[in-house]
Amino acid sequence: MLALDDLDSFYGRSQILHGVGLHVAQGQLHAIVGRNGAGKSTLLRSIMKLTDRVTGGQLLEGRSLGADSYLRARAGLGYVPQGRQIFPDFTIRENILVGGFAARSGKRRIPDIVAELFPYLIQNLDRLGGVLSGGQQQQLAIARALAMEPDVLLLDEPTEGIQPNIVEQIEGAITRLNRELGLTVVLVEQNIRFVRAAADHFTMLENGRSVASGPIGGLTDDLITKHMTV
């Protein structure tokens, strides 16, 4: 579904990623793990062409990805960035419909699944995004990405800094999107408990390089201690 080979990525003259490879099969939930500053968020930003320069092979369903982030969204990549980046002065409805601009069907609509995953959003469509809690804004960011009609959903730290009760809802939503609906997911996440419960495969980054990857059973305590313990 998504194949990256020998990926280098730069901010200005600073090289952040060095020869990273990532192969994600259709329907897989692939977790990206590592210490803070390892390059995890940069990897997702590179997939969306949001860094200054990216080199290396990048294929989605065997086709080269587009030259800019809008074309990549239209190709089937949905992206939920770290920090959510919802529009605070837009209503919940307006925030979700923004995602529809990248939908390949050309339809700007609220996906039916949003009502099942995040009923609060549907019950409060006219509330401004800026008055929502952090967890509700994260739900909104995921709903906006789903309105893009993605084949692959890229999630950057979706449970970071969120109240525990909503963390459970978001984890459940991600698991359901993957396991019940078959959506391919690339997940950057520090919560190893959730990663082990939800992911099929993992890639571990350190200093912008892939240092381990494989089925989730290979994400051992020894590996975590070596590459993630501060």
Beta-carbon count within 10 A of 100 CB: 18
How many other C-beta atoms lie within 10 A of the C-beta of residue 167?
Answer: 18
Domain containing residue 50: CATH number: 3.40.50.300
Q: How many domains does the chain have?
A: 1
3-state secondary structure of 29: strand
Per-residue pLDDT tens over the stretch 62-119: 888 877 777 888 888 999 998 888 999 999 999 999 998 888 877 889 999 999 999 9
Q: Is the pLDDT assigned to residue 193 strictly greater than 80?
A: yes
Q: What is the pLDDT of residues 127-167, one digit of tens each?
A: 999 999 999 999 999 999 999 999 999 999 999 888 888 89
CB 39 within 8 A of CB 203: no
pTM: 0.92
Boundaries of domain holding 63: 2-228
Per-residue pLDDT reduced to its tens digit, 65-74 = 877 777 888 8
Whole-angstrom CA distances from 85 to 45, 142, 143 are 14, 11, 13
pLDDT, one tens digit per residue, over 206-216 is 999 999 999 99
Q: Give residue 230's pLDDT band: very low, low, confident or very high (50, 70, 90).
A: low
The per-residue pLDDT of the chain, averaged, comes to 92
Q: Which is more confident, 224 or 106?
A: 224
